[in-house]
Amino acid sequence: GLPQPASDDGLYRQLGGREGISAIVEEMLVRLVEDERIAHHFAQTDIIQLHERLVEQFCVEAGGPCTYRGLSMEDAHIGLDLTEADFNALVEDLVDAMEALEVPTRAQNRLLRRLAPMRPQIIHR
Ligand code: HEM
């Protein structure tokens, strides 16, 4: 499909564009697969493909010129029975990743604010 239009690509630029987002997702996944609280959920997951999907998704959420090719958040997490604690652990790994890459706090908060509303679509599924 065509890239979804970027109404406001300010956040996309603050995150360093596609390259910056790719680095953020990679740093997050490195932490995630080592995170004893939640690593077990990803034991069967193709991490390379998950990286691709997350980059597309964060890019779209940040207003970048990307297309998300993955499942809906409901369908992606169905049967995993994720809890609020699981969700918070992933967010913590994402924040640690952004801190490590020195993403400005304002940009971190803007991205988190875009992801937070997905929580009810992800937990207890
Ligand atoms: C804001 C929070 C989250 C976002 C934005 C998110 C996003 C995504 C995306 C984009 C995918 C790929 C869907 C596809 O393959 O089409 C995915 C898959 C997955 N997510 Fe999440 N997710 C979140 C929270 C979580 C949490 C808290 C866990 C577990 C601790 C989790 C576990 C998984 C697993 C295991 C898969 C891969 C399933 C498979 O192997 O195909 N997610 N998620």
For residue 14, give the CATH number of its domain. 1.10.490.10
**1 is a domain residue:** no
CA of 54 to the centre of ligand 1 (A): 8
Q: Does the CA dihedral 55-58-64-66 come out positive or negative? A: positive
> Which pLDDT score is estimated for 9?
80
Q: Which structural domain, as residue segments, surrounds residue 112?
A: 10-122
Neighbour-count burial for 80-116, b at 16+ CB within 10 Å, e otherwise: eebeeebbebbeebbbbbbeebebeeebbebbeebbe
- Report whether residue 77 contacts ligand 1, using a CB cutoff of 6 Å: yes
Would the pLDDT of 2 be above 70?
no
- Report whether residue 38 contacts ligand 1, using a CB cutoff of 6 Å: yes
**ipTM of the modeled complex:** 0.97
The per-residue pLDDT for range 41-95, each reduced to its tens digit, is 999 999 999 999 999 999 999 999 999 999 999 999 999 999 999 999 999 999 9
* More confident call, 125 vs 25: 25
Other CB atoms closer than 10 Å to residue 78's CB: what's the count?
Answer: 12
**24 is a domain residue:** yes
**50 is a domain residue:** yes
